[in-house]
Structure 1
């Protein structure tokens, strides 16, 4: 009998009513992108202090860490607990895929440095360059050298530990993606987002005074010009997480 694969989503954000209603929450967005038939997917709201039991960690084939409005360089209790969890998962070579805040907190857990970006917010659709080593490792996917992705962040990984490899960059952010061993990968952008979610987020950022109206208007206009390469990102993420990279 085939053993079912089991994955966990570490939810670091609070769902908006809109995303809950339309997409089944942010965890639903991830599960829709990554889940395949016969798999079990569990969701842990780590930002509320909900974590998997340490004794159960070995049952999982992989974890995905979501984005967040919190700072990956902050010292909230749940952030410290998440750092401890990620170090445990690293020690047992569990697959981990980190997205946006997830990418940054992974970098920090491994000994890197996360700070505010010196060039401010990145909000919209951006083209990033993939390293030849990543494209070689994913030669079966026949990826182009550049892919467009939705970005929504004001922090970035400034430094990575020596064992980590930068596998993508952009004209704004030096570490758009990294790999650590064969089991950890971080992506600064949002492969799971649709442009509808991006436009909704821009409105939320304006309402919460994270950005001013004029900046939000510019971000909306820029977002209308490009489409993110969502299918390519889906294949890349699934290939990594399911052990095919």
Structure 2
């Protein structure tokens, strides 16, 4: 059981000056492999493209490269990206970001974590992360919504089962106290998690499109083959994932667009 953190009874929305709107923070925790980045850009670019965010709506902070976030009150929301890093390595930049996440959660800042960001949120708020005992999850796999998702507006109307793009070795192995699992896959029981207020995360990558997933599979083909994966079958299974992307779109529309922030 993770340590229990105290939060305000209702999330306290961060004030926004009407003349100088606060930016959405994209907390960049790493960069994709060079062949992926050269074709598709960094994780922050993928998120902006998938969510339809303009450059002037976001502030990208590359925490893995030593860039520093302003205080949580300086943002209207935050999205935490994926990374090739491992949460269990407890790198200094990652632990500093975990501390920032705890402070932001106490203020009720809306946050959305993706892959590494999903794991870092769980770690920061009192859960546990480790290597998955069954190894890597990779490819376009089925995500299944759980009964708890029924009362969550971000998931309303989505199909009960939908495809999503994944590539990860570590997973959330224990949830923070008070967190709720909203979706699972056959491999990983914690695919979408709601932590508190407007704080969500997904183990899958809602910002990936089939081209990005295909580039990942091509780049990692030798390694995946050594791990026993049928890479041709994985490539054949890649498909569009509009329902998976919808979670990111809805978070951005509800909590992060300039015209919607309040």
- In the alignment, structure 2 segments of 5+ residues that lack a partner are 1-17, 256-262
In the alignment, which residue of structure 2 is the partner of 1:168?
183
Query: What TM-score do the two structures reach when normalised by structure 1?
Result: 0.86
With over 3 angstroms needed to count, the CA separation of the structure-2 counterparts of 1:121 and 1:139, relative to structure 1, is closer
Equivalent residues of 2:184, 2:191 under 8 A apart: yes
1:15-53 deviations in Å (ceiling 9; x for gaps): 444444433422111011124469611111111111212
After superposition, residues 206-225 of structure 1 pair within 5 angstroms as 211-215=223-227, 218-225=230-237
Secondary structure of the 1:152 match is strand
Equivalent residue, structure 2, for 1:115: 130
- Secondary structure (helix, strand or coil) at the match of 2:138 reads strand
Pick aligned residue for 2:66 from 49, 55, 60? 49
C-alpha separation in 1, matches of 2:243 and 2:183: 14
Does residue 13 in structure 1 map to residue 30 in structure 2?
yes
CA RMSD of aligned residues (A): 2.5
Indicate the residue corresponding to 2:44 in structure 1. 27
Aligned to 1:240: 251
Q: Which has the higher contact order (CA 8 A, sep 6+)?
A: 2
> C-alpha separation between the residues in 2 aligned to 1:216 and 1:190?
23
Shift of 1:212: 4.6
Whole-Å Cα distance in 2 between the matches of residues 218 and 90 of structure 1?
A: 41
Measured in 1, the distance between the counterparts of 2:155 and 2:102 equals: 31
- Structure 1: how far apart are the matches of 2:43 and 2:165? 15
Count of matched residue positions in the alignment of Structure 1 and Structure 2: 238
**Higher alpha-carbon deviation: 109-118 or 44-53:** 44-53
Distance (whole Å) between structure 2 residues aligned to residue 179 and residue 155 of structure 1: 19
CA separation in 1, counterparts of 2:36 and 2:187? 28
Write the mapping of 1:60-209 to structure 2, written as runs, cut at 5 A: 60-138=75-153, 141-205=156-220
Question: Quick check: 2:206–2:246 contact (8 Å CA) kept in 1?
Answer: no
User: Runs of 4 or more off by more than 6 Å in structure 1?
Assistant: none
Distance in 2 (alpha carbons) for counterparts of 1:38 and 1:197: 21
Equivalent position SS for 2:60: strand
Q: Distance in 2 between matches of 1:76 and 1:179?
A: 25
SS in 2 for 1:163: coil
Q: 1:18 to 1:192 in 2, by over 3 A?
A: same
Contact 2:179-2:195 within 8 A present in 1 as well: yes
CA 1:179/1:122 → structure 2, altered by over 3 Å: closer, same or farther? Answer: same
Distance 1:18 1:101 in 2: 20
- Quick one: distance in 2 between partners of 1:66 and 1:73? 16
